[in-house]
Structure 1
Amino acid sequence: MGAVANTLGRRERLRAETTAEIKRVALALMASGGPDAITLRAIAREMEMTANAIYGYFATRDDLVTTLIAELYTGLADAVEAARDAVPAADPAGRIRAWADAFRAWALANSEGFRLIYGDPVPGYQAPEGGPAPEAAYRVCTSLTGLAVGAWPYLEPHYQGAEFDWSDFEPGLVAKVRGAFPELTPIPVALALRLWSRLHGLVSLEVYGHLRGQTGSPDKLYRDEVAELVRTLGV
């Protein structure tokens, strides 16, 4: 029995190692050739495996892409939540800074993953119903909305922005944020989207290399943007 268990254990480890390598190679191919370079045949060629052997791990290219997105998105959700939760809820400015710093750090450490989630669509990819990573997407969305909710009491007394109704937002987004924050009004949701656009915008420019030749200190630019956000919110 012990020998059988050891054999099964080795097989499971080898399978896990090969699966991990397939995912690493897929992201490397994307880095060098764009999202359309992710094919099972190309991965098999890089790993010196047969195409049929690859199909034993992922039945289709779309299955692989879905797995990649789900794992990457979950990693991002874990990172921003952990950073936010390391700061007391009584310090909304600190929580915004921590979330923003963790988001940028994750994106730079996982640039191909960032592009796969937020940037380059994989040609022909058909996501499963509900999306490739619905739980992780929900976590990232609600964690960012929570930052806006925490800042809102400081901003509300002198808020001069536009008025919003729930009809101004997509039903899927409304369901997510109202499920997490039942007493939420529409205006903090708009605030969360504005926070997202500013943080995502600079990070995206940096990941795609569009800040090269314009600044040698993208980190300083980002920190200043986050500081300005905090000042604007009055927290």
Structure 2
Amino acid sequence: MPAMSRRQRRRIETTAEIKELALRQLASGGTHGVTLRGIAREMGMTPAALYGYFDTRDDLLETLAADTYNRLADEQEAARDALPEADTAGRLLAVAGVFRDWARANPAEFRLTYGDSSPGVAAPSENVVAASRRCCMILVGQVDAVWKDAPQELRQAQADWEDFVPSLAALTREHFPHLPPQALLASLRVWGRMYGPVALEVFGQFGPEANPQVLFQAEMNSALDMLGLKPPASKPSR
């Protein structure tokens, strides 16, 4: 590939700095705390110059969301692939554990991507949806790994492709054409067990003496049981 020009390198560096400052604003003030004018002021740029990188605040937030989903998916895939394929329970717990660790370490990014919609923020773009679907397909892949031996109750659940968001159903059928809609339903049930306790923890719904790890582990053990799996003999403490 031809070497990048100095101007191209400078643009990449400036874009990275804008996103880094936006993440700091997000962490301190949520989505409403992210302002292009504030970033421009901190960088010593005019607002007009910053608009040459991002047209609107929503464009910047969408870029942050897509980047966040992709980083999370990368971490989940790395944790999953660090374990042998035969360790289906361990791989699923690894994917779930990364999700919880990431959410606890990055509550602002969790709120941006998995929290409630913020007033004034536009609907997700195709890039954001595509990035978010990476994490979905990782989970469907874990269900796929055990589907042929899954309990009959799970395999015979009432489900049709029309029951799901069309884009999610279409992507599942594209990546896993051999799976029935019941497998996607099972994946979403696992997702509910992952997301629920993590959201309660990040949104501060536990008392100071509570141990959120207990609920999270109980829900993940329930997910394993639903899939016909047993927890590994020893699990890392989180």
Shorter-chain TM-score: which interval?
0.7 to 0.9
Task: Give the Cα separation in 2 of the matches to 1:168 and 1:83.
Answer: 31
1:206 lines up with 2:204 in the alignment: no
Q: Secondary structure of the equivalent of 1:133?
A: helix
In terms of mean alpha carbon deviation, does 110-119 or 225-234 score higher? 225-234
Aligned to 1:179: 174
Match of 1:233 among 198, 204, 227: 227
Checking the alignment, whether the CA contact within 8 Å between 2:151 and 2:228 is kept in structure 1 is no
The more displaced of 171-180 and 202-211 is 202-211
Counterpart CA distance in 1 for 2:35 and 2:177 is 43
Q: Distance in 2 between matches of 1:159 and 1:116?
A: 33
* TM-score (ref. length: structure 2): 0.83
Deviation (angstroms), 1:82: 1.6
Aligned to 1:82: 78
Identity over aligned residues, as a percent? 48
How big is the alpha-carbon RMSD for the aligned residues of Structure 1 and Structure 2? 2.6
Does the 8 Å contact 1:44/1:54 carry over to 2? yes
Tell me what 1:137 maps to.
132
- Aligned to 2:191, which of 187, 190, 196? 196
Deviation of the 1:158 alpha carbon: 5.0
Q: Say whether the 8 Å CA contact 1:66–1:127 is kept in structure 2.
A: no
After superposition, the Cα gap between the structure-2 partners of 1:23 and 1:46, relative to the gap in structure 1 and judged at 3 Å, is same
Per the TM alignment, residue 141 of structure 1 is displaced from its structure 2 partner at its CA by 1.3
Task: Classify the secondary structure of the residue corresponding to 1:167.
Answer: helix
Kindly indicate whether the alpha-carbon contact (under 8 Å) linking 1:155 and 1:233 is maintained by their aligned counterparts in 2. yes
CA deviation after TM superposition for structure 1 residue 148, in Å = 1.6
1:187-233 Cα distance to aligned partner (Å, 9 max, x none): 11111001101101111122222224351x32343233222322332
Contact map agreement 2:30 2:108 (CA 8 A) in 1? no
Equivalent residues in 2 for 1:1-235, closer than 5 Å: 9=6, 14-127=10-123, 131-157=126-152, 159=154, 162-213=157-208, 215=210, 217-235=211-229
Report if aligned partners of 1:35, 1:120 keep a CA contact under 8 Å in 2: no
TM-score (structure 1 length as normaliser): 0.84
Which amino acid letter does the alignment assign opposite residue 124 of structure 1? G
User: Structure 1 unaligned runs (5+)?
Assistant: none
The number of residues matched between the two structures is: 227
1:40-64, CA deviations, whole angstroms, 9 ceiling, x for partnerless residues?
A: 1132234443312322322222221
